[in-house]
Structure 1
């Protein structure tokens, strides 16, 4: 492995790319750790945004108009403001207020930057998931719902066994697109010094001035991850498509 790594560094050096940091444990180890942190952020936010999106849909379609109104207001505010601004507001304002309140009670703030990145990204994409699912519910044929009601399905049974599965199938392309956007948005973690791949790369190129080499690594990393998410989404679309529907 060491000889292959040295060969790669020598070959890329001929075209002006400096990857010598890979031979230095002091820089290589944090960089590899940053890869893992980025993957953790992506995995956690994919799960968190999916749960949040379902919760918002339940609130929007519930019988309580007050809760539905709050959910709609949250979606509109979240969709219409930048993710980076939301992250700064959460970490620099809300987190600071929590820290000050806990210090009065001599308690250490348990919420670290990683938590705020996952929370903000999950809630941000949950709003987009909720809108995609709402479109999926609106696309359901009225005859299908009327047929389920005529067969004696209760409202809950109709929702869980007919409406939600069909709405998910209809919304899958939009949901997958949201997931791809989420993967790319995870790079904002570096804005609050979370040690992801972007942050670790910045720390390296400030010392070595090898911006181009590291930017190519970052682009390759996100390109591979988004490609894998896209492939998984296409597989799900093929796996769960309704036979004869959409042709």
Structure 2
């Protein structure tokens, strides 16, 4: 075993903090597994929410009430109800109904429900940001594309969405930072993320403060990474003539 856990434990002990659980291989492994699970949750929900957002934005701007109205209803319901309540409704109600229908063949694990619920929830926020971006595309650009005989679908996928992504990028990054923090709700249905792992450790020892500091640092670091990537993309994809 590397000596870094011992060094860290002794150093923090001088500050009055008890990180002795890091010297226990099982508890250290539990925390590492929880951190990896959280990273997977972040990755999958980021992808899922962006795909959901693009799909909903396409429906909202389709110009067809039969598509736009259901999308608008879904967005309003999703945005105006708590994520944790949505997760409980999905896992305790929909999952129970699915179990009754298919029994042990139910392919949706608690982890999968978290990915689905958070992806749909943040996808609704992404959709509004993308809708605003789509509507911000200059008319002269759209007229130029129409003069090239672009169909409505080609106009959306080849002109409006690429530009809308650039216009909406600051809002999207803000939503993704919130998404990273939102993955902590996974612990509510016993998904073994880093929050749940920390809870399991502090129920066996008196180190709540130390684990809370660890959780704050972990989520703060993830959010900072997303923010840095977002800043890089904003600078790289900045539209000439817009902004600075």
TM-score, scaled relative to structure 2: 0.96
* Per-residue deviation, 1:67: 2.0
Structure 2 match to 1:210: 207
Q: After superposition, where does 1:129-144 map in structure 2 within 5 Å? A: 129-144=126-141
* Per-residue deviation, 1:161: 2.4
Q: Distance in 2 between matches of 1:90 and 1:116?
A: 7
Structure 1 match to 2:143: 146
Structure 2 match to 1:8: 8
* Per-residue deviation, 1:83: 0.3
Q: Distance in 1 between matches of 2:160 and 2:42?
A: 29
Note the alpha carbon deviations across 1:53-78, whole angstroms, 9 max, x for none.
Answer: 11111211224322211111000000
Structure 1 unmatched ranges of 5 or more: none
Is 1:186 the counterpart of 2:183 in the alignment?
yes
Q: Distance in 1 between matches of 2:16 and 2:94?
A: 45
Q: Distance in 1 between matches of 2:151 and 2:120?
A: 31
Is 1:123 the counterpart of 2:120 in the alignment?
yes
Q: Distance in 2 between matches of 1:49 and 1:182?
A: 9
* Per-residue deviation, 1:143: 2.2
Q: Distance in 2 between matches of 1:195 and 1:151?
A: 53
* Per-residue deviation, 1:151: 4.1
Please say which of residues 177-186 and 147-156 is displaced more in the overlay: 147-156
**Number of residue equivalences:** 244
Please say which of residues 11-20 and 111-120 is displaced more in the overlay: 11-20
Is 1:72 the counterpart of 2:56 in the alignment?
no
Structure 2 unmatched ranges of 5 or more: none
Structure 2 match to 1:158: 155
* Per-residue deviation, 1:133: 0.3
Note the alpha carbon deviations across 1:97-150, whole angstroms, 9 max, x for none.
Answer: 1112223xxx43221100000000000000000000011012122222223323
Q: Distance in 2 between matches of 1:59 and 1:177?
A: 23
Task: Find runs of 4+ consecutive structure 1 residues off by over 4 angstroms.
Answer: none
Q: Distance in 2 between matches of 1:98 and 1:161?
A: 39
Please say which of residues 153-162 and 183-192 is displaced more in the overlay: 153-162
Is 1:44 the counterpart of 2:41 in the alignment?
no
